[in-house]
């Protein structure tokens, strides 16, 4: 062999130069994002502590200290502080820093990641680049927001003082939301199991009504079902039903249709051999369902059912079309009540946090259950 | 009460169609009390389908199945009751995964035979002992080896005190080193006088333990007789070809 590399032994080095500073790229990405987020909070807090008047700039943006009648506007100073902080020079610097450093990190990361000497360092470079892009995106969105009518927005949506004294109401709202959702889900599961067993029947006459029910409730809007069935109970059947109770029933009926499909899929996912084993021991079809199939199916459908539950929690807001008495206000209804009292939408923002307080823990549980089922511990949940 | 001809099982001209596929093509056979019948044959020959018609897990498209004096293909026969007298063990075990070994056995005793919990418990423990797994009574199927699961499945079927046991390729899903423990259990059962019908690929077992061999091909019974004799001197061409492949 008389190639150039032959005298050296081994193939030529095609790896190229090793890139510098993987940790630097990662650090830049993190710094861009952290400064952007934490910096904005710091600016807000500082302004909230120092500012105590409604400035002229705020007035110019529509944040009035007094009404035209001369009475003070509740929360005007707080809103002005938010606006002033967003418009401040410090905020410009922080967002500018986030965008610039984030852009630098992502450019460096994408340019150099292939030349990192180890897998670990390559991942660091990529992580830095991705965080950088996120910082750039957030920063640009922030600048865009600031170019709009910040005063109008903050006045209508971010007036915390409007919410003073409404904690009890929100708590009651959470309780009522949970009541509607829990009763709806429980009723829905009961209806769903029955419908699922009917829907998998070999007999068309048994299947048909279940299919009609399921398709009807899945095929029409929940908001329509709420008002239609409420008035059907009230006038059609002449039952003096309260709106809150009617809502619970309709949520059950509606959830039943979705749960039926979930259970049907769960039952059909159980191996044929399970039914054969049960039947060959002399069990009837219903016994085989009850003792062999459904206990296994229930375990498999826990994650999709909990997803349905999370959806139902949010859908309880639709009960607003029926109108509730004050002690039955759920979260959304309560927020609208505050809105109609104050003509200020800040309560709706607060409501979102109320829903998240309920749904986030649930979503975590669903994920935990799912990963546990996936890891093969199929018998593990409620095995005893 | 045996059938009029004295047999425990009598199949009369059984046909089975799956859609357009003719799987069983007119099979007639009788099985006497105490027979250990092994059914062998190439895959797709209809062995398992035939076995499963005996307890009507597969309903014959045509023909009659008589068991213990009753025509069980008659729609008026209480099949659930008949099935309590016919045990079946499957290739895939089909244990209930959400129940422990003991609960697997107790379930049908309580829900079908209506025994109280104490009685069922006693029977379950006795049957577990019978298959040598009483120390695994509280284990779940997922915690047991394939061989152990299959022995539990055998115990579950035996607990019903069946007059007939059906085995559908029960060792085919097992690792080679686990096959023996299941075959040993079945051999002991045969020695105790249980009437058994066994679909298998274990030729040694068919020859040594079986009292009768049925060779099926293409939905028909081709050979039926004493296993040792048949294997020593295979007459039918297809049977000879099959033996030369598997032995």
User: What is the helix (H) or strand (E) element at residue A99, kind and residue range?
Assistant: helix A89-112
Looking at residue B141, the DSSP 8-state letter turns out to be G
Q: How far is CA B241 from CA A295, B41, B198, B200, in A?
A: 48, 11, 21, 17
| Residue B88 touches chain A, beta carbons under 8 Å | yes
How far is A265 from A274, CA to CA, in rounded Å?
Answer: 16
| Residue B78 touches chain A, beta carbons under 8 Å | no
pTM over 0.80: no
Q: Is the pLDDT of residue A372 over 90?
A: no
- Which phi and psi (to 5°) does residue A258 adopt? -70, -40
B57 neighbors B231 (Cβ within 8 angstroms): no
Residues 6+ apart with CB under 8 A from A35: A94, A97, A98, A101
Choose among B83, B98, B142: nearest Cβ to A281: B83
By percentage, how much of chain B surpasses pLDDT 70? 100
How far is A109 from A92, CA to CA, in rounded Å?
Answer: 25
Q: How far is A365 from chain B (nearest CA, A)?
A: 22
Q: How far is B202 from chain A (nearest CA, A)?
A: 23
Which position has the token pair 């004294």? A165
| Residue B222 touches chain A, beta carbons under 8 Å | no
What is the per-residue pLDDT across A325-354, written as a single tens digit (0 to 9) for each?
878 888 888 888 888 888 888 889 989 998
Q: Which two tokens stand for residue A241?
A: 């039903």
Residues 6+ apart with CB under 8 A from A9: none
Chosen for mutation from B49, B51, B72, B108 (greatest number of chain A CBs closer than 10 Å) is B108
What is the per-residue pLDDT across A42-67, written as a single tens digit (0 to 9) for each?
999 998 888 788 888 888 777 777 77
- Strand pairing class (B36-40; B212-217): parallel
| Residue B94 touches chain A, beta carbons under 8 Å | yes
The confidence score (pLDDT) of residue A117 equals 82
- Strand pairing class (B9-18; B70-71): unpaired
Q: Which two tokens stand for residue A276?
A: 């054969």
The confidence score (pLDDT) of residue A322 equals 87
Q: Reduce the DSSP state of residue B70 to 3 states and report it.
A: strand
Which position has the token pair 């009617």? A246
Closest chain A residue to B109, measured at CA: A281
Residues 6+ apart with CB under 8 A from B218: B25, B45, B46
The CA-based dihedral angle spanning residues A137, A100, A22, A38, taken in that order and rounded to the nearest 10 degrees: -70
Q: How far is CA A257 from CA A216, A262, B211, in A?
A: 8, 9, 56
How far is A282 from B83, CA to CA, in rounded Å?
Answer: 5
| Residue A283 touches chain B, beta carbons under 8 Å | yes
Residues 6+ apart with CB under 8 A from B244: none
Q: Reduce the DSSP state of residue B87 to 3 states and report it.
A: strand
What is the per-residue pLDDT across A169-208, written as a single tens digit (0 to 9) for each?
888 888 989 999 999 999 999 999 999 999 998 899 999 9
Q: How far is CA A173 from CA A157, A184, A251, A338, A350, in A?
A: 19, 16, 17, 12, 12
Q: Which two tokens stand for residue B25?
A: 């093509």
Choose among A271, A273, A383: nearest Cβ to B98: A383
B226 beta partners: none
Q: Is the pLDDT of residue A265 over 90?
A: yes
User: What is the helix (H) or strand (E) element at residue B37, kind and residue range?
Assistant: strand B36-40
What is the per-residue pLDDT across A112-142, written as a single tens digit (0 to 9) for each?
888 888 888 889 999 999 999 999 999 999 9
What is the per-residue pLDDT across A285-308, written as a single tens digit (0 to 9) for each?
999 999 999 888 888 898 899 889
- Model ipTM? 0.93
The confidence score (pLDDT) of residue A129 equals 93
User: What is the helix (H) or strand (E) element at residue B178, kind and residue range?
Assistant: helix B176-191
How far is A3 from A177, CA to CA, in rounded Å?
Answer: 79
Neighboring chain B residues of A278 at a CB cutoff of 8 Å: 96, 108
User: What is the helix (H) or strand (E) element at residue A258, kind and residue range?
Assistant: helix A243-268
Q: Which two tokens stand for residue A222?
A: 């929940």
How far is A10 from B68, CA to CA, in rounded Å?
Answer: 82
User: What is the helix (H) or strand (E) element at residue B206, kind and residue range?
Assistant: helix B203-208
Which position has the token pair 């068991």? B67
Query: Which of A380, A334, A332 shows the shortest CA–CA distance to A355?
Result: A332
How far is A59 from A77, CA to CA, in rounded Å?
Answer: 11
Q: At what angle do helices A204-219 and A243-268 cross, to 10 degrees?
A: 130
Chosen for mutation from B91, B94, B166 (greatest number of chain A CBs closer than 10 Å) is B94
- Encode A194-217: b = buried (16+ Cβ within 10 Å), e = exposed: ebbbbbbeeeeeeeeebeebbeeb
The confidence score (pLDDT) of residue A1 equals 43
The confidence score (pLDDT) of residue A17 equals 65
Q: Which two tokens stand for residue B205?
A: 């077992």
Q: Reduce the DSSP state of residue B221 to 3 states and report it.
A: strand
Q: Is the pLDDT of residue A22 over 80?
A: no
| Residue B112 touches chain A, beta carbons under 8 Å | yes
| Residue A277 touches chain B, beta carbons under 8 Å | yes
How far is A116 from A360, CA to CA, in rounded Å?
Answer: 38
Q: How far is CA A309 from CA A171, A178, A184, A351, in A?
A: 20, 10, 9, 18
| Residue A279 touches chain B, beta carbons under 8 Å | yes
pLDDT less than 70: residues of chain B:
1
């Amino acid at each position: 062999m008389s190639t150039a590399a032959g005298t050296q032994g081994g193939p030529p080095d095609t790896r190229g130069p090793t890139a510098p500073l993987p940790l630097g790229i990662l650090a830049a990405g993190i710094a861009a994002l952290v400064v952007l987020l934490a910096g904005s909070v710091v600016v807000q807090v500082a302004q909230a502590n120092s500012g105590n008047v409604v400035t002229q700039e705020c007035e110019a943006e529509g944040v009035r200290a007094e009404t035209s009648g001369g009475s003070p506007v509740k929360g005007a100073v707080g809103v002005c502080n938010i606006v002033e902080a967003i418009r401040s020079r410090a905020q410009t610097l922080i967002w500018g820093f986030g965008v610039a450093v984030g852009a630098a990190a992502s450019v460096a990361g994408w340019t150099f990641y292939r030349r990192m000497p180890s897998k670990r360092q390559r991942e660091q470079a990529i992580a830095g680049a991705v965080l950088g892009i996120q910082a750039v995106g957030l920063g640009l969105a922030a600048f865009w927001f600031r170019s709009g009518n910040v005063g109008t927005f903050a006045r209508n949506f971010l007036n915390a003082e409007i919410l003073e004294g409404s904690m009890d109401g929100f708590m009651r709202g959470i309780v009522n939301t949970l009541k509607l959702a829990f009763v709806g889900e429980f009723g829905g599961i009961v209806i769903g199991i029955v419908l699922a067993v009917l829907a998998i029947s070999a007999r068309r006459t048994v299947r048909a009504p279940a299919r009609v029910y399921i398709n009807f409730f899945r095929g029409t809007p929940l908001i329509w079902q709420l008002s239609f069935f409420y008035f059907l109970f009230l006038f059609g059947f002449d039952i003096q039903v309260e709106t809150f109770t009617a809502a619970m029933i309709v949520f059950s009926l509606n959830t039943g249709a979705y749960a039926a499909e979930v259970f049907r899929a769960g039952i059909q996912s159980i191996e044929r051999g399970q039914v054969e084993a049960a039947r060959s021991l002399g069990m009837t079809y219903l016994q085989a369902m009850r003792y062999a199939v459904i206990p296994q199916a229930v375990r498999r459908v826990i994650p999709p059912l909990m997803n349905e539950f999370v959806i139902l929690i949010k859908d309880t807001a639709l009960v607003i079309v029926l109108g509730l008495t004050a002690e039955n206000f759920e979260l959304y209804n309560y927020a609208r009540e505050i809105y109609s009292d104050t003509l200020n939408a800040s309560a709706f923002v607060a409501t979102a946090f109320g829903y998240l307080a309920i749904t986030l823990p649930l979503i975590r549980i669903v994920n935990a259950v799912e990963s546990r089922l996936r890891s093969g511990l199929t018998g593990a949940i409620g095995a005893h | 009460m045996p059938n009029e001809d004295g047999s425990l099982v009598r199949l009369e001209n059984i046909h089975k169609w799956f859609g357009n596929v003719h799987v069983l093509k007119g099979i007639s056979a009788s099985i006497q009390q105490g027979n250990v019948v092994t059914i062998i044959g190439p895959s797709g020959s209809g062995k398992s389908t035939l076995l499963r018609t005996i307890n009507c897990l597969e309903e014959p498209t045509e023909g009659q199945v008589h068991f213990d004096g009753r025509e069980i293909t008659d729609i008026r026969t209480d099949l659930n009751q008949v099935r309590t007298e016919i045990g079946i063990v499957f290739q895939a075990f089909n244990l209930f995964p959400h129940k422990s070994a003991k609960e697997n056995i107790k379930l049908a005793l309580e829900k079908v035979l209506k025994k109280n919990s104490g009685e069922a418990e006693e029977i379950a423990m006795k049957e577990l002992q019978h298959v040598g797994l009483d120390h695994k009574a509280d284990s779940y199927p997922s915690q047991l080896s394939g061989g152990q699961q299959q022995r539990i499945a055998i115990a579950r079927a035996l607990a019903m005190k069946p007059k007939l046991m059906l085995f559908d390729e029960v060792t085919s899903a097992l690792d080679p080193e686990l096959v023996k423990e299941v075959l040993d259990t079945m051999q002991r059962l045969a020695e105790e006088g249980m009437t058994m019908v066994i679909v298998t690929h274990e030729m040694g077992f068919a020859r040594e333990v079986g009292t009768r061999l049925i060779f099926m091909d293409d939905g028909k019974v081709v050979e039926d007789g004493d296993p040792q004799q048949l294997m020593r001197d295979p007459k039918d061409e297809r049977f000879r070809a099959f033996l030369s492949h598997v032995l």
